[in-house]
């Protein structure tokens, strides 16, 4: 297991490095220069040249790459010319916000999805299953941005139950430093998290229902029932536990979404996270920020897969890799 | 549909509503502030500053917020007249005088203080000029100060500006771009590090509002300096909420989560804001204009004339083929004007009487036929010597307005037998292609400051080759008139007449079809009184706005 883990970690580092290199090359190869100034203002040639010298974009690409890799090796992600600050500082502010939003959404997604899937499986082909099946299919077919706009319109603009955008009330809670402001943060989190979480939960519910029904046909379930195990024990101990394998894999694959999946929702709800940061950087060719975002996303992808594989191995002894392998 | 959406919300929805109710209850905390100095104004805007160090940035957000923190020596009036000094208002300088034709002397107001309590001195003014001119700072405003030779401190309250030459906008150049900086705080920061200086995220200024906090991509807060030497601002707290785009900003405004938005954009947004009872609409002159520009050089080869647009008569015909007023109505409704040349409404040379080519499709078709462009194969597109009268237009995909215009122009040209194909590209690609001359035509939109000089020189004279004169328009007679308007004449009337002749000459050459000069429309909460918006810098006069005590709402009362 340890050797397997070492090999996986080494491969993961190589993959991340390859992604960073590819991103660096691609973003520089993309047509269009960096856009440091408003595009609707004429810019003096000398000023533009001085700017380029100042930020190092006048150097050949291999030189820029070598400098970037050398910085990266020392843990320096560089400076952002659009934000006029170190990229690490900008990421340090954006990442917790995205983690909060995506974490809340994933929690809703998996808890609600799991509960609905199990409930449907227990009521299979009865009215609740049919109603929930259609409802989840209906919601699953929503584009998330569209659902977000509808929630903003209905619950934000019309009913005014929830704020339409932002993380906190800037007058009452400029900082989240009290219980009142923590509640205010949750209040602002509700619509964006529901937008992401509901669509995800609808998908998870359908997967979970199918997995539960597949397990229900297995011999060991029949045996458990024949042995007189209670219905709840059969469901929780035998059926649900075995059906969790696909759930864990799905959860591992969802990990990168924690940082990257909420781009549109962050825009609709003015949520100051990684999605907004990366989108703005791509449009203005802020190379340092784009590459750092790719670095983070690729790290999470390989990490997500690693964790999923490890969890599956823990949950299913049949899949454990022999030590000598 | 909504019913279906609510089904899975039933259980967690109840929890969420409980939390929301708790939040609502706990957030309603009527504060104690009452009286004339209690207002809290929340701006919603997509324009977040990149850094609050004025010489380093040209972003609109930096300008708007910087205007509250940093003062100029004097500032332009509501007329936005840039010639002479009569329309300028004192700020840090309480008065000024000319000491000969090339020397301008400013006397600083002795009451002016930095927010850390230090006095504002003439040494700060000289330091500021030096910083704006330092290549290590790479200030985008450096070019605007090129006709100033030096700024020196005669004594602690007297700053002396010396110019290279005499020209109509000397005073404007001396005061408009430079926000005076605190030398005592910035002198120790290496100039090549100003681009990321911590000062730029926590500035100390001398204006009516002092910096409180800035949370990136979220909010920025300023509080009134109650000891401000030009009078205590009536609104005690200004908060900017940053949004990714204008639609989100409008939604927040309409939902009551913001108080002011400087630019509503589309007519739809204006109508949304009009329908909100708590908002008042303020139209004002816009500072942008847009046009379809013809590349006079061959696509990708600036040494050769363009096979279609190199012909002046063809350009004139294309211009006459477009009913600009009708297009304007389709896109903007009543919220824009047809510009009488390459100009925005805030320029004092704006004059609808300037001579322009008329809308006349018959004459347009006659001109095209006279130049040999006829539809010889009956396919509806004119051709000449085996070449079809066809071209491609670049449009930035980020501009809904220009994308709409592209389609309308396509149809207008089709009716006179001209084929126009549209290339929508992202803004940085647009910039790269126009800068390298790899285009036939492009839909441009420019934002301007109040002076016509720099824009009209950079975009339309030979000195802009390799810079912003992407169309490579070159008319020595026009250049000569521009030189006279910006340098040789002194009075405003003389300058206006010369500008008029220059613009008419350019209109006759038709290097572009000037399509729109939008009106801006701001929406501001109705409780705010004495609102004045300066078209070149929207919130420059906020310190004179007020909220009467009987109109205060919850957020105005909040104490922290």
- B26–A267: do the CB atoms touch at under 8 Å? no
Chain A residues lying within 8 Å of B254, measured CB to CB: 157
> Residue B8 is nearest to which of A83, A135, A174, comparing CB atoms?
A135
B:199-258 residues touching chain A, CB 8 A cutoff: 200-201, 213, 215-219, 221, 237, 239, 241-245, 248, 251-252, 254-257
Per residue in B241-260, pLDDT (tens digit) is 999 889 999 999 999 999 99
Question: Which tokens in the block code for residue B540?
Answer: 């420059």
Q: What is the 3-state secondary structure (H, E, C) of B277-311?
A: CCEEEEEEECCEEEEEEECCEECCEEEEECCCCCC
Question: Which tokens in the block code for residue B304?
Answer: 């050769």
Give the list of residues 6+ apart from residue B247 with CB closer than 8 angstroms, or none: B269
* Residue found under tokens 């499986």: A121
Span B85-100, average pLDDT: 96
- B251–A152: do the CB atoms touch at under 8 Å? yes
B:438-477 residues touching chain A, CB 8 A cutoff: 445-447, 454-455, 458-459, 464, 466-468
Eight-class DSSP state of B174: H
- B143–A156: do the CB atoms touch at under 8 Å? no
Backbone angles phi, psi at B148, to 5 degrees: -95, 130
Nearest residue to B393 (alpha-carbon basis) of B507, B273, B523, B513: B513
> Residue B288 is nearest to which of A40, A108, A157, comparing CB atoms?
A40
Chain B residues lying within 8 Å of A40, measured CB to CB: 288, 445-447
Chain A residues lying within 8 Å of B430, measured CB to CB: 32, 39
* Model pLDDT, residue B3: 34
Question: Which tokens in the block code for residue B65?
Answer: 């917020």
Backbone angles phi, psi at A57, to 5 degrees: -80, 0
Q: Sign of torsion, CA B477 B300 B431 B511?
A: positive
Per-residue burial over B259-287, b = 16 or more CB atoms within 10 Å of its CB, e = otherwise? bbbbbbbbeebbebbeebeebbebebbbb
Question: Which tokens in the block code for residue A89?
Answer: 């500082």
Give the list of residues 6+ apart from residue A219 with CB closer than 8 angstroms, or none: none
Nearest residue to A57 (alpha-carbon basis) of A85, A76, A74, A32: A32
Burial of residue A115 (CB within 10 Å: 0-12, 13-18, 19+) is middle
**Does residue B441 contact residue B390 with C-beta atoms inside 8 Å?**
no
The pTM score is 0.87
CA B468 to chain A, closest CA, distance in angstroms equals 6
The answer to whether B277 faces chain A, any CB pair under 8 Å, is no
Span B405-417, average pLDDT: 97
B:122-161 residues touching chain A, CB 8 A cutoff: 135-136, 138-140, 142-143
- What long-range pairs does A18-21 form, CB within 8 A, spacing at least 24? A19/A294, A19/A295, A19/A298, A20/A72, A20/A291, A20/A294, A20/A295, A20/A298, A21/A65
Taking all residues of chain B, what is their mean pLDDT, rounded to a whole number?
92
A218 pLDDT more than 90: no
The answer to whether B57 faces chain A, any CB pair under 8 Å, is yes
Question: Which tokens in the block code for residue B435?
Answer: 């800068």
> Residue B8 is nearest to which of A42, A84, A201, comparing CB atoms?
A201
Strand B279-285 with B260-261, pairing:
unpaired
Question: Which tokens in the block code for residue B212?
Answer: 């409180």
Question: Please, which pLDDT band fits residue B26 given cuts at 50, 70 and 90?
Answer: very low
Span B401-422, average pLDDT: 96
Q: Which residue of B has its CA nearest to A78?
A: B196
Per residue in A304-321, pLDDT (tens digit) is 777 877 777 777 766 665
Span A78-95, average pLDDT: 92
User: What's the gap between Cα A111 and its chain centre?
Assistant: 16
* Model pLDDT, residue B123: 98
* Model pLDDT, residue B552: 93
Give the Cα separation of A297 and A71 in Å (integer): 19
> Residue B60 is nearest to which of A38, A43, A161, comparing CB atoms?
A38
Chain B residues lying within 8 Å of A77, measured CB to CB: none
- A161–B20: do the CB atoms touch at under 8 Å? yes
Per-residue burial over A181-213, b = 16 or more CB atoms within 10 Å of its CB, e = otherwise? bebbbbbbbbbbbbbbbbbbbbbbbbbbbebbb
Give the Cα separation of A125 and A111 in Å (integer): 22
**Looking at the predicted complex, does its ipTM rise above 0.90?**
no
CA B544 to chain A, closest CA, distance in angstroms equals 22
Question: Which tokens in the block code for residue A27?
Answer: 């973003």
Share of chain A above pLDDT 70, in %: 95
- A187–B251: do the CB atoms touch at under 8 Å? no
**Does residue A187 contact residue A172 with C-beta atoms inside 8 Å?**
no
- A82–B50: do the CB atoms touch at under 8 Å? yes
- Collapse the DSSP code of B191 into the 3-class scheme (helix H, G, I; strand E, B; otherwise coil) and give the result: helix
Nearest residue to A38 (alpha-carbon basis) of B399, B218, B120, B29: B399
Burial of residue B382 (CB within 10 Å: 0-12, 13-18, 19+) is buried
- A166–B468: do the CB atoms touch at under 8 Å? no
Question: Which tokens in the block code for residue B102?
Answer: 């090339």
User: Euclidean distance between the first and final Cα of chain B, in Å?
Assistant: 43
- A156–B467: do the CB atoms touch at under 8 Å? no
Q: Which residue of A has its CA nearest to B446?
A: A40
Backbone angles phi, psi at B424, to 5 degrees: -90, 125
- A34–B201: do the CB atoms touch at under 8 Å? no
Per-residue burial over A254-284, b = 16 or more CB atoms within 10 Å of its CB, e = otherwise? bbbbbbbbbbbbbbbbbbbbbbbbbbbbbbb
Span A253-277, average pLDDT: 80
Question: Please, which pLDDT band fits residue B9 given cuts at 50, 70 and 90?
Answer: very low
Give the Cα separation of B391 and B419 in Å (integer): 6
Chain B residues lying within 8 Å of A266, measured CB to CB: 244
* Model pLDDT, residue A259: 66
Question: Which tokens in the block code for residue B288?
Answer: 């942008």
Question: Please, which pLDDT band fits residue B11 given cuts at 50, 70 and 90?
Answer: very low
User: Euclidean distance between the first and final Cα of chain A, in Å?
Assistant: 8
Give the Cα separation of B200 and A210 in Å (integer): 56
B362 pLDDT more than 60: yes
Find the range with the poorest average confidence among B49-63, B442-456, B479-493. B479-493
Give the angle subtended at the CA of A143 by the CAs of A142 and A144, to the nearest 5°: 100
Looking at per-residue confidence, does A274 or B176 come out higher?
B176
Looking at per-residue confidence, does B181 or A231 come out higher?
B181
B338 pLDDT more than 80: yes
CA A34 to chain B, closest CA, distance in angstroms equals 7
* Model pLDDT, residue B14: 47
Which of A102-111, B315-324, B493-502 shows the highest mean pLDDT? B315-324
Question: Please, which pLDDT band fits residue B25 given cuts at 50, 70 and 90?
Answer: very low
Share of chain B above pLDDT 90, in %: 82
Q: Sign of torsion, CA B185 B190 B195 B198?
A: negative
* Model pLDDT, residue A252: 72
* Model pLDDT, residue A258: 65
- B12–A190: do the CB atoms touch at under 8 Å? no
Per-residue burial over B133-157, b = 16 or more CB atoms within 10 Å of its CB, e = otherwise? bbeebbbbbbbbbebbeebebeeeb
> Residue A43 is nearest to which of B19, B140, B237, comparing CB atoms?
B140
Q: Which residue of B has its CA nearest to A84?
A: B196
- B196–A85: do the CB atoms touch at under 8 Å? yes
- A171–B467: do the CB atoms touch at under 8 Å? no
A145 pLDDT more than 60: yes
Share of chain B above pLDDT 70, in %: 94
Q: What is the 3-state secondary structure (H, E, C) of chain A?
A: CHHHHHHHHHHHHHHHHHHHHHHHHHHHHCCCCCCCCCCCCCCCHHHHHHHHHHHCCCCCHHHHHHHHHHHHHCCCCCEECCCCEEHHHHHHHHHHHHHHHHHHHHHHHHHHHHHHHHHHHHCCCCHHHHHHHHHHHHHHCCCHHHHHHHHHHHHHHHCCCCCCCCCCCCCCCCCCCCHHHHHHHHHHHHHHHHHHHHHHHHHHHHHHHHHHHHHHCCHHHHHHHHCCCCHHHHHHHHHHHHHHHHHHHHHHHHCCHHHHCCHHHHHHCCCCCHHHHHHHHHHCCCHHHHHHHHHHHHHHHHHHHHHHHHHHHHHCHHHCCCCCC
**Does residue B547 contact residue B224 with C-beta atoms inside 8 Å?**
no
- B396–A39: do the CB atoms touch at under 8 Å? yes
Task: For residue A284, give Cα distances in angstroms to A11, A288, B527.
Answer: 32, 11, 38
Give the Cα separation of B39 and B34 in Å (integer): 9
Residues comprising chain B, all counted? 560
A43 pLDDT more than 80: no
Per residue in B505-527, pLDDT (tens digit) is 999 999 999 999 999 999 999 99
* Model pLDDT, residue B12: 46
The answer to whether B26 faces chain A, any CB pair under 8 Å, is yes
> Residue B428 is nearest to which of A43, A45, A285, comparing CB atoms?
A285
Give the Cα separation of B222 and B219 in Å (integer): 10
B:507-526 residues touching chain A, CB 8 A cutoff: none
CA B366 to chain A, closest CA, distance in angstroms equals 36
Task: For residue B139, give Cα distances in angstroms to B143, B187, B412, B502.
Answer: 9, 16, 42, 30
H helix or E strand, kind and range, residue B74:
strand B74-76
Question: Please, which pLDDT band fits residue A299 given cuts at 50, 70 and 90?
Answer: confident
Question: What is the greatest pairwise CA distance in chain B?
Answer: 81
A260 pLDDT more than 80: no
B:324-363 residues touching chain A, CB 8 A cutoff: none
Question: Please, which pLDDT band fits residue B202 given cuts at 50, 70 and 90?
Answer: very high
CA B379 to chain A, closest CA, distance in angstroms equals 35
* Model pLDDT, residue A16: 86
Question: Please, which pLDDT band fits residue A323 given cuts at 50, 70 and 90?
Answer: very low
* Model pLDDT, residue B23: 47
| A/B interface, count of CB pairs below 8 Å | 222
Task: For residue B199, give Cα distances in angstroms to A3, B132, B211.
Answer: 51, 16, 11
* Model pLDDT, residue A303: 81
């Amino acid at each position: 297991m340890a050797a397997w883990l070492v090999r996986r970690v080494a491969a993961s580092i190589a993959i991340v490095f390859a992604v960073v290199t590819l991103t660096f090359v691609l973003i520089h190869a993309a047509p269009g220069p960096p856009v440091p100034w408003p595009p609707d203002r004429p810019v003096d040639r000398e000023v533009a040249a001085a700017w380029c010298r100042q930020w190092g974009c006048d150097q050949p690409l291999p030189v820029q790459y070598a400098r970037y890799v050398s910085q990266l090796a020392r843990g320096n992600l560089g400076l952002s010319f659009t934000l006029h600050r170190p990229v690490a500082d900008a990421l340090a502010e954006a990442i917790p916000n995205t983690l909060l939003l995506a974490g809340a959404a994933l929690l809703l997604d998996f808890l609600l999805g799991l509960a609905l899937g199990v409930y449907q499986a227990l009521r299979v082909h009865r009215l609740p299953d049919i109603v929930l099946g259609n409802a989840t299919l209906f919601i699953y077919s929503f584009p998330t941005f569209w659902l977000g706009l509808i929630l903003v319109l209905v619950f934000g603009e019309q009913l005014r139950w929830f704020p339409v955008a932002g993380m906190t009330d800037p007058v009452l809670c400029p900082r989240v430093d009290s219980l009142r402001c923590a509640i205010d943060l949750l209040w602002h989190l509700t619509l964006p998290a529901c937008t992401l979480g509901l669509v995800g939960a609808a998908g998870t519910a359908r997967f979970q229902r199918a997995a539960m029904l597949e397990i229900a046909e297995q011999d060991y379930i029949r045996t458990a029932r024949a042995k007189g195990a209670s219905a709840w024990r059969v469901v929780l101990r035998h059926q649900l536990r075995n059906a969790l394998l696909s759930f864990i894999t799905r959860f591992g694959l969802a990990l990168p979404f924690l940082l990257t999946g909420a781009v549109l929702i962050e825009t609709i709800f003015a949520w100051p996270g990684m999605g907004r940061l990366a989108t703005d950087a791509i449009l203005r060719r802020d190379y340092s920020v784009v590459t750092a975002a790719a670095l983070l996303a690729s790290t999470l992808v390989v990490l997500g897969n690693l964790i999923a594989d490890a969890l599956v191995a823990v949950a299913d002894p049949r899949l454990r890799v022999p030590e000598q392998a | 549909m909504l019913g279906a959406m609510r089904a899975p919300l039933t259980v967690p929805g109840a929890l969420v509503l409980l939390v929301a109710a708790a939040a609502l209850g706990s957030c309603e905390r009527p504060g104690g502030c009452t009286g004339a100095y209690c207002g809290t104004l929340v701006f919603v805007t997509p324009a977040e500053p990149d850094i609050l160090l004025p010489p380093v940035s040209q972003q609109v957000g930096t300008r708007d917020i910087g205007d509250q923190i940093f003062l100029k020596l004097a500032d332009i009036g509501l007329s936005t007249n840039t010639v002479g000094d009569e329309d300028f208002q004192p700020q840090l300088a309480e008065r000024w005088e000319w000491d000969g034709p090339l020397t301008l002397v400013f006397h600083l107001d002795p009451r002016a203080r930095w927010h850390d309590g230090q006095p504002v001195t003439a040494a700060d003014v000289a330091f500021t000029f030096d910083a704006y001119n330092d290549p290590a700072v790479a200030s985008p405003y450096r070019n605007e100060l090129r006709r100033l030779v030096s700024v020196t401190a005669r004594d602690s309250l007297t700053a002396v500006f010396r110019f290279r030459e005499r020209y109509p906008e000397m005073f404007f150049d001396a005061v408009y771009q430079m926000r005076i900086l605190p030398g005592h705080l910035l002198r120790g920061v290496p100039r090549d590090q100003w681009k990321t200086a911590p000062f730029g995220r926590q500035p100390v200024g001398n204006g009516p509002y002092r910096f409180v906090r800035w949370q990136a991509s979220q909010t920025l807060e300023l509080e009134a300096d109650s000891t401000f030497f030009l009078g205590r601002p009536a609104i005690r707290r200004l908060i900017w909420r940053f949004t990714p785009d204008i639609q989100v900003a409008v939604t927040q405004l309409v939902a009551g989560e913001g108080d002011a938005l400087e630019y509503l954009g589309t007519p739809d947004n204006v109508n949304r804001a009009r329908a909100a009872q708590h908002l008042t609409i303020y139209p004002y002159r816009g500072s942008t204009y847009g046009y379809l520009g013809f590349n006079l050089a061959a696509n990708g080869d600036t040494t050769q004339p363009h096979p279609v647009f190199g012909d002046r008569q063809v350009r004139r015909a294309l211009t006459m083929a477009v009913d600009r007023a009708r297009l304007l109505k389709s896109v903007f409704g009543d919220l824009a004007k047809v510009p009488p040349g390459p100009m925005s409404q805030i320029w004092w040379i704006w004059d609808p009487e300037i001579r322009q080519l008329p809308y006349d499709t018959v004459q347009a078709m006659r001109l095209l036929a006279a130049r040999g462009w006829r539809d010889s194969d009956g396919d509806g597109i004119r051709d000449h010597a085996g070449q079809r009268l066809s071209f491609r237009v670049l449009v930035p995909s980020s501009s809904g307005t220009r994308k709409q215009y592209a389609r309308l122009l396509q149809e207008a040209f089709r009716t006179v037998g001209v084929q126009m194909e549209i290339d929508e590209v992202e803004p940085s690609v647009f910039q790269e292609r126009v800068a390298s001359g790899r285009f036939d035509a492009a839909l441009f939109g420019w934002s301007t400051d109040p002076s016509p000089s720099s824009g009209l020189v950079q975009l339309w004279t030979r000195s802009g080759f390799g810079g912003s004169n992407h169309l490579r328009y070159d008319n020595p007679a026009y250049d000569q008139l521009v030189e006279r308007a910006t340098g040789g004449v002194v009075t405003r009337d003389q300058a206006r007449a010369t500008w008029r002749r220059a613009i008419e000459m350019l209109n006759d050459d038709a290097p572009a079809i000037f399509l729109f000069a939008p009106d801006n429309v701001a929406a501001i909460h109705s409780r705010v009184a004495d609102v004045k918006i300066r078209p070149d810098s929207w919130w420059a006069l906020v310190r004179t706005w007020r909220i009467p005590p009987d109109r205060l709402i919850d957020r105005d009362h909040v104490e922290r």
